[in-house]
Amino acid sequence: MKLCSLILGLCSASALAFAAHAETLTIATVNNGDMIRMQKLTDDFASKNPDIELQWVTLEENVLRERVTTDIATKGGQYDVMTIGTYEVPIWAKQQWLLPLENLGADYDVKDIIPAIAGGLSADGKLYAAPFYGESSFIMYRTDLFEKAGLEMPEAPTWEFIGEAARKITDRSADINGICLRGKAGWGENMAFLTAMSNSFGARWFDETWQPQFDQPEWKNTLDFYVKLMNDAGPQGASSNGFNENLALFQQGKCGMWIDATVAASFVSNPKDSTVADKVGYALAPDNGLGKRGNWLWAWSLAIPAGTQKAAAAEKFVAWATSKDYLALVASKEGWANVPPGTRVSLYENPEYQKAAPFAKMTLDSINSADPTKPTVKPVPYVGVQFVAIPEFQGLGTTVGQLFSAALAGQMTVDDALAQAQSASVREMTRAGYIK
């Protein structure tokens, strides 16, 4: 009896000692499908790293950006791993707010990361964030509705064609909107779409001397086209719709077309969630014949803030979640079509993925065609396709996004929205010292 008690006591003491030495990583992430799936698969990580526990903070996109930016800028130290994007990485790396990822493991294969994606997550030749998934944007459309209307989607359509097709396939009586586009305000929500769209209309945020350009005809043409199209063929309440809302509408069969992130393809084509899974086609983002398409370049990535006290454990998690092995894990559970796309060259060379994902080639072509160093028709002093890679853009982009969302909602005219965007931009760029 005494021996049994002694053994139980030793076991309890060992368990307490283990619990005391286990490190808890706090991970801030976005509430999209790929990230939610990853959280469900972390038993695999736990089995390989029993001394590391994971605590999740899962947030809506705009809220996530606000919280992690505030935390890292104020050295708050709330998070050990942050989900951030292509916009933040080079800026934060320059501020020395992030740790370089230099110990991802011998079998990680950094060189396998798609060059366009790796380049956007690097600074001074070092990788500062590992891509969980990479994306561009393209058109997802209902093949059955196009066939019914006697339309054929070109592989590389123009905005004029998209406008005509959207109006033709709209059927309000059947609750079918010809097109769904982002309207929710935010620099990474409606302004991601509208900035990429404006590039194809010949617009730009700033000229070579950082003078704002919202008073120019290219932006007027962009916003006029967008608002009129959404009024004629978009869903009610579109000014409140971001990625997740439009995804739900498309999966429910209420969108004839949706121009958004290439990562959405696996969700709209998944019969478990999408009522139109077998009726989806894909095409390149539209253009106006000016040499630029309306597609962006982005990667949701995992980075380690410089203030963490758990850097080694954090890097183990980042390596696990962004590895080739993780892609194989998802494939074994959910099928190859549902693995996080847009990060690794080897994925697009994989015959199983090519067979399972009819959108694979279109995704890779879209990613490779987006050039952050030359995003616009006219020359600009900045890099970034759907954003301007300066610290001030986060606040300014959200301000402009609110104005453009209000124009979509009919709360102000397009002309008023552009005039206020111009004034706000001049004021901010003057305050920040870009213009005198």
> Taking the CB of residue 302, how many other CB atoms lie within 10 A of it?
26
Which pLDDT tens digit goes with each residue over 88-108?
Answer: 998 999 999 999 999 999 899
Residue 225: what pLDDT? 98
Average pLDDT over residues 254-279: 96
Smallest Cα–Cα separation from 384: which of 125, 187, 239? 187
Which pLDDT tens digit goes with each residue over 36-75?
Answer: 999 999 999 999 999 999 999 999 988 999 999 999 999 8
> Taking the CB of residue 327, how many other CB atoms lie within 10 A of it?
21
Residue 388: what pLDDT? 96
Q: Say which DSSP state 343 is in.
A: S
| Maximum Cα–Cα distance across the chain | 89
Name the pLDDT band for 32 (thresholds 50, 70, 90).
confident
Residue 373: what pLDDT? 85
Output phi, psi for 322, to 5 deg. Answer: -120, 20
> Taking the CB of residue 161, how many other CB atoms lie within 10 A of it?
16
Average pLDDT over residues 168-180: 97
Output phi, psi for 177, to 5 deg. Answer: -95, 135
Average pLDDT over residues 364-371: 92
Name the pLDDT band for 21 (thresholds 50, 70, 90).
low
Residue given tokens 């049994």 in the structure block? 4
Residue 15: what pLDDT? 43
Residue 18: what pLDDT? 44
Residue 16: what pLDDT? 44
Name the pLDDT band for 3 (thresholds 50, 70, 90).
very low
Helix axes 190-200, 217-233, angle to 10 degrees: 120
Smallest Cα–Cα separation from 296: which of 285, 312, 308? 285
DSSP output for 92-134: HHHTT-B-----S-TTS-GGGB-HHHHHHTEETTEE-SEEEEE
Q: Say which DSSP state 13 is in.
A: H
Which residues, 6+ apart, have CB-to-CB distance to 419 below 8 Å? 214, 215
Amino acid identity for residue 285 in this structure: A
Name the pLDDT band for 7 (thresholds 50, 70, 90).
very low
Smallest Cα–Cα separation from 385: which of 45, 120, 67, 46? 120
Name the pLDDT band for 17 (thresholds 50, 70, 90).
very low
Residue given tokens 């790796």 in the structure block? 118
Evaluate if residue 215 carries a pLDDT over 70: yes
As given in the structure block, the two tokens for residue 76 are 């708050």
Residues present in the chain in total? 436
Average pLDDT over residues 335-360: 95
Evaluate if residue 2 carries a pLDDT over 80: no
Cβ distance 85 to 300 under 8 Å?
Answer: yes
Share of the chain above pLDDT 70, in %: 95
DSSP output for 364-431: HHHHHH--TTS-SSS--S---SSS--STTHHHHHHHHHHHHHHHHTTSS-HHHHHHHHHHHHHHHHHH
Q: What SS3 state is found at 81?
A: strand
Q: How many CA atoms lie within 13 A of 274 on its CB side?
A: 20
Which residues, 6+ apart, have CB-to-CB distance to 420 below 8 Å? 403, 412
Give bridge partners of residue 135 from the DSSP assignment.
Answer: 298
Residue 22: what pLDDT? 80
Name the pLDDT band for 283 (thresholds 50, 70, 90).
very high
Average pLDDT in the chain = 93
Average pLDDT over residues 358-367: 94
Share of the chain above pLDDT 90, in %: 89
Q: How many CA atoms lie within 13 A of 65 on its CB side?
A: 17
Average pLDDT over residues 187-214: 97
Evaluate if residue 8 carries a pLDDT over 60: no
How far apart CA 374 and CA 228 sit, in angstroms, is 29
| 14 burial type by CB count under 10 A (0-12 exposed, 13-18 middle, 19+ buried) | exposed
Q: Say which DSSP state 139 is in.
A: E
Residue 62: what pLDDT? 83
Smallest Cα–Cα separation from 133: which of 430, 343, 405? 343
Which pLDDT tens digit goes with each residue over 373-428?
Answer: 899 999 999 989 999 999 999 999 999 999 999 999 999 999 999 999 999 999 99
Smallest Cα–Cα separation from 95: which of 311, 393, 391, 397? 391
How far apart CA 397 and CA 295 sit, in angstroms, is 18
Beta-strand (E) ranges in 297-361?
298-303
Average pLDDT over residues 264-272: 94
As given in the structure block, the two tokens for residue 196 are 């990429």
